Structure 1
Amino acid sequence: MKQEMVTFLSVLKDDILDLTKYLYNNPEESFYEYKAYNYISGLLKGFGFKVESNYLNMPTSFYAQYGEGHPKICFICEYDALKEKGHVYGYNAESAISTAAALALSRIIPKVGGSCIVIGCPGEILSGSKITMLEQGTFEDLDAVLMVQPHVVTCESGNSMAVLPLQIKYTENQNNNDITGNYSALDACLFTFDALNMLSKGFGDNCFINGVNVNSINDAFPQSVEAKFCLRAPSSMIANAIEDKIKNFINMTCSLLNISSELHLYGMPCKELITNSTLDRLFSHNLKESGIINIDGVKNIYSPLTLGNVSHVVPCIHPYVSIVENNSIKYGTKQFADATISAYAQDVIMKSAAALAFTAFDLISKQSLIGEAKTELKSNTTNMKYSEHYI
Structure 2
Amino acid sequence: MKQEIIGYLESIKEDLFKISSYLYNNPEESFKEYNSSEYLCNIYKKFGFKVKKNIMNMSTAFSAEIGNGHPRICFICEYDAVKDLGHVTGHNLLSAISTGAALGLSKVISKLGGSIIVLGCPGEFLGGSKVTMAKQGLFEDIDAVLVAHPDIITAESGTSMALMPLKINYKSECGLSYRRKGTYSALDACMLTFNSLNILSKGFGPACSIDGVIVQGGKDPHLLPNEAESKFYIRATKKHYAEIVECKIRSLSKCLGEIMDINTECSIYEIPYDELITNSTLSRLFSHNLKEAGIIDIEGPKDTYSGLSLGTVSHLIPCIHPYISIVQDNSIKYSSREFALATISDFAKNIGLKVSHALAFTAIDIIQRETLLQESREELINFLKKQKD
TM-score, length of structure 2 as denominator length: 0.91
CA displacement 1:241-292 (0-9 Å, x = unmatched)? 1122223333433444444322111222122111111111111111011100
> Number of residues paired by the alignment?
379
Between the aligned partners of 1:126 and 1:234, the Cα distance in structure 2 is 20
Is residue 71–residue 143 contact of structure 2 (8 Å, CA) maintained in 1? yes
What amino acid maps onto 1:361 in structure 2? Answer: I
CA displacement 1:203-260 (0-9 Å, x = unmatched)? 1234221132152344654444322221111110110111222233334334444443
Report the CA distance between 1:4 and its aligned residue: 1.9
Q: Secondary structure at the match of 2:110?
A: helix
Report the CA distance between 1:182 and its aligned residue: 5.8
Is residue 279–residue 373 contact of structure 1 (8 Å, CA) maintained in 2? yes
Query: Hey, what does 1:93 align to over in structure 2?
Result: 93
CA displacement 1:4-44 (0-9 Å, x = unmatched)? 22222222222212222222222222223233222221121
Q: 1:320 aligns with which of 301, 308, 323?
A: 323
Q: Which moved more, 1:211-220 or 1:19-28?
A: 211-220
Is residue 62–residue 119 contact of structure 1 (8 Å, CA) maintained in 2? yes
Is residue 150–residue 321 contact of structure 1 (8 Å, CA) maintained in 2? yes
Query: Hey, what does 2:314 align to over in structure 1?
Result: 311
CA displacement 1:69-90 (0-9 Å, x = unmatched)? 1111000001122364332211
CA displacement 1:336-378 (0-9 Å, x = unmatched)? 2221222211210111000000111111111221111112222
Q: 1:244 aligns with which of 242, 247, 272?
A: 247
CA distance 1:216–1:326, shift in 2 (3 Å): closer
User: Is 1:21 equivalent to 2:37 in the alignment?
Assistant: no
Between the aligned partners of 2:243 and 2:360, the Cα distance in structure 1 is 37
Is residue 30–residue 80 contact of structure 2 (8 Å, CA) maintained in 1? yes
Query: What root-mean-square deviation, in Å, do the aligned CA atoms of Structure 1 and Structure 2 show?
Result: 2.1
Is residue 239–residue 275 contact of structure 2 (8 Å, CA) maintained in 1? yes
Between the aligned partners of 1:68 and 1:77, the Cα distance in structure 2 is 21
Is residue 212–residue 230 contact of structure 2 (8 Å, CA) maintained in 1? no
Q: How does 1:39-50 map to 2 (within 5 A)?
A: 39-50=39-50
Is residue 173–residue 258 contact of structure 1 (8 Å, CA) maintained in 2? no
Query: Hey, what does 1:350 align to over in structure 2?
Result: 353
CA distance 1:185–1:75, shift in 2 (3 Å): same
Q: How does 1:106-145 map to 2 (within 5 A)?
A: 106-145=106-145
Query: Hey, what does 1:292 align to over in structure 2?
Result: 295
Q: Secondary structure at the match of 1:159?
A: strand
Query: Hey, what does 1:215 align to over in structure 2?
Result: 216
Q: Which moved more, 1:190-199 or 1:156-165?
A: 190-199
Q: Which moved more, 1:262-271 or 1:99-108?
A: 262-271
Between the aligned partners of 1:294 and 1:269, the Cα distance in structure 2 is 34
Is residue 73–residue 145 contact of structure 2 (8 Å, CA) maintained in 1? yes
Query: Hey, what does 2:202 align to over in structure 1?
Result: 201
Query: Hey, what does 1:58 align to over in structure 2?
Result: 58
Is residue 237–residue 384 contact of structure 1 (8 Å, CA) maintained in 2? no
Between the aligned partners of 2:282 and 2:129, the Cα distance in structure 1 is 23
What amino acid maps onto 1:125 in structure 2? Answer: F
Query: Hey, what does 1:10 align to over in structure 2?
Result: 10
Q: Secondary structure at the match of 1:139?
A: coil
What amino acid maps onto 2:202 in structure 1? Answer: K
Q: Secondary structure at the match of 1:382?
A: helix
CA distance 1:211–1:189, shift in 2 (3 Å): closer
What amino acid maps onto 1:378 in structure 2? Answer: I
Between the aligned partners of 2:384 and 2:340, the Cα distance in structure 1 is 36
Is residue 291–residue 351 contact of structure 1 (8 Å, CA) maintained in 2? yes
Is residue 161–residue 304 contact of structure 1 (8 Å, CA) maintained in 2? yes
Query: Hey, what does 1:178 align to over in structure 2?
Result: none
User: Is 1:157 equivalent to 2:160 in the alignment?
Assistant: no
Q: Secondary structure at the match of 2:298?
A: coil
Q: Which moved more, 1:284-293 or 1:296-305?
A: 296-305
Between the aligned partners of 1:190 and 1:19, the Cα distance in structure 2 is 46
User: Is 1:70 equivalent to 2:70 in the alignment?
Assistant: yes
CA distance 1:240–1:295, shift in 2 (3 Å): same
Query: Hey, what does 2:177 align to over in structure 1?
Result: none
CA displacement 1:130-181 (0-9 Å, x = unmatched)? 122222211121111111111111011111111111112234499xxxxxx9
CA distance 1:40–1:184, shift in 2 (3 Å): closer
Is residue 204–residue 245 contact of structure 2 (8 Å, CA) maintained in 1? yes
Q: 2:378 aligns with which of 353, 375, 378?
A: 375
List gaps (5 residues or longer) in structure 1.
175-180, 386-391
CA displacement 1:94-117 (0-9 Å, x = unmatched)? 111100100111112111111100
Q: Secondary structure at the match of 1:303?
A: coil
CA displacement 1:366-391 (0-9 Å, x = unmatched)? 12211111122222223657xxxxxx
CA distance 1:293–1:245, shift in 2 (3 Å): same
CA distance 1:338–1:113, shift in 2 (3 Å): same
Report the CA distance between 1:125 and its aligned residue: 2.5
Between the aligned partners of 1:297 and 1:65, the Cα distance in structure 2 is 33
Between the aligned partners of 1:127 and 1:28, the Cα distance in structure 2 is 16
